[in-house]
Homo-oligomer: A and B are copies of this chain.
Amino acid sequence: MAVGLGFMAAKLQMLSTSDHASVVSMNLFVALLCACIVIGHLLEENRWVNESITALIIGVCTGVIILLVSGGRSSHLLVFSEDLFFIYMLPPIIFNAGFQVKKKQFFVNFITIVMFGALGTLVSCGIITLGVTQVFKRMDIGSLDIGDYLAIGAIFAATDSVCTLQVLNQDETPLLYSLVFGEGVVNDATSVVLFNAIQSFDLTHIDSRIGLQFFGNFLYLFLASTLLGVMTGLLSAFTIKKLYFGRHSTDREVALMMLMAYLSYMLAELLNLSGILTVFFCGIVMSHYTWHNVTESSRITTKHAFATLSFVAEIFIFLYVGMDALDIEKWRFVSDSPGTSVAVSSILLALVMAGRAAFVFPLSFLSNLAKKNPNEKISIGQQVIIWWAGLMRGAVSIALAYNQFTRSGHTQLRSNAIMITSTITVVLFSTVVFGLMTKPLIRFLLPHPKHTTSMTLSDPSTPKSSTIPLLGGAQDSEVDLGGHDIPRPSSIRALLATPTHTVHRYWRKFDDSFMRPVFGGRGFVPFVPGSPTERREPQWQ
């Protein structure tokens, strides 16, 4: 949207008509995106492949073709751009995740999720750093200092929440989905915070004061980011409720929701907070309040438009990573010693697996100890899936690796080239191989997911809203949380079974008495003919 804003330094002489080469590459890219969607659709029924893997493979194939066409000189159609990723692609994905997440599931497991996401990432980072320090020193890969080792830890502690979204199903395995995905969001934030801390703190003498400062910094970031997201969401709800845009224009409502969601992310970036956390909570608040203040058509539009934007951004990222992977310049330094590169990648993969195992199983054990109801405990099979589903590394890792190892022109160093190519190798391998095996693994470990997972939701609504034409997941999750219009047995039973039900009940009371009258939500919008705000049964099934 605000594409040219980065061009500020570019003066008038750069304002000639757009470069022919960039038009060619945009055409190619849009055409490939279309191809990915069509092929992804055709492979829908396939039990191995998902859309991410398709996009990644198409991207790599395109890279190969470009390499061959250009005579082996370059596949330099694209260079991975951090800005593009963090400023334009990630926000819609994470916002949509917050917007469509089953809020009840998420908040019931909140403590476990934060433990996995924050503590787990620290453990994982520590183990990877330790392993790398021990092993790499003995190998011939050039000069790396303590800061680099810690950065490698942070880079490979960042799981790929985008890929997780495609591998797990919110309806088949709601508990697993909320745990793994929720962890992914917190983990993304933790990794970025960790990484920034590593780059800015003086690492030559680490003491308890710096450790405490680091912890305080993390806590501040977490709370401030969440608060900012909640505030922006509430502001949008309040604005739309007070002005009642629906009277005039669906377009205005949709535009305002979109812009304010994006504003929350950019504000967080401006204040050096975690935009990922902010936009995630903004999405949750918007789906809880704002979404119920708009007209019926705005609801359908936002629901599907956000999902579509997120979907396209996901495919875009995987296509992009795939095409970027073949960039010949990166591999030039590695080609004389392919053995080292393979060894480094293998070590990193092993450390990723060990680092994740080191926190998933102990933390699951602790989480199980705290729960009385046996249905709520995380079974061994589920633990293995949680461990496995978080092994994939994605665009966040690549972005962080570029940031660390291509700064201030020392790209030409052997060690940096090896780290970049190893990161790409790990990302490609983990996404394709681990990704391909996730669906079969789930089927093997949880033969009937509907029965083994706890708190199965009563209505078979899909989060990606693919089969239900009009009213889908977000509203259903709303009903699950509120659940007071029609006391449905399964919902009530689940509510009573959870130990957090008292917190829920207080929250609901607070929500009904104070929040909803101000910020809207289901049941408090004045009924205006022509703008139905009450839920209606979909006419068509």
Contacts and interface: CB of A to CB of B under 8 A. Distances in A.
Given A3-B88, A530-B469, A22 B34 contact: no
B22 A248 contact: no
B79 A41 contact: no
A289 interface: no
B465 A250 contact: yes
Copies of this chain, tallied across the complex? 2
Given A26-B266, A249-B464, A403-B17, A296 B82 contact: no
A532 B2 contact: no
A28 to B, nearest CB: 10
A23 B6 CA distance: 8
A434 to B, nearest CB: 24
A373 to B, nearest CB: 35
A78 B4 contact: yes
Contact of A18 (B86, B255, B308): B86
Contacts of A27: 263, 266-267, 270
A8 interface: yes
Interface stretch (A123-131, A345-353, A407-415): A407-415
A500 B269 CA distance: 58
Interface string A287-310: 000000001111011011101100
Nearest to A330: B12
A262 interface: yes
A84 B151 CA distance: 36
Contact of A297 (B26, B269, B304): B304
Contact of A403 (B15, B19, B88): B15
Contact of A407 (B2, B16, B86): B16
A29 B13 contact: no
A251 B298 CA distance: 16
Contact of A266 (B30, B84, B270, B305): B30
Contacts of A239: 38
Given A15-B403, A304-B298, A308-B301, A243 B86 contact: no
A16 B298 contact: no
Interface string A509-523: 000000000000000
A77 interface: yes
A376 to B, nearest CB: 32
B23 A259 contact: no
Contact of A23 (B33, B269, B311, B531): B269
A446 interface: no
Interface stretch (A217-225, A388-396, A478-486, A533-541): A533-541
Interface of A: 1-8, 10-13, 15-19, 21-27, 29-31, 33-34, 37-38, 40-42, 44, 76-84, 86-88, 239, 243, 245, 248-252, 254-256, 258-260, 262-263, 266-267, 269-270, 295-298, 300-301, 303-305, 307-308, 311-312, 316, 402-403, 406-409, 411, 464-470, 529-532, 536, 539-541
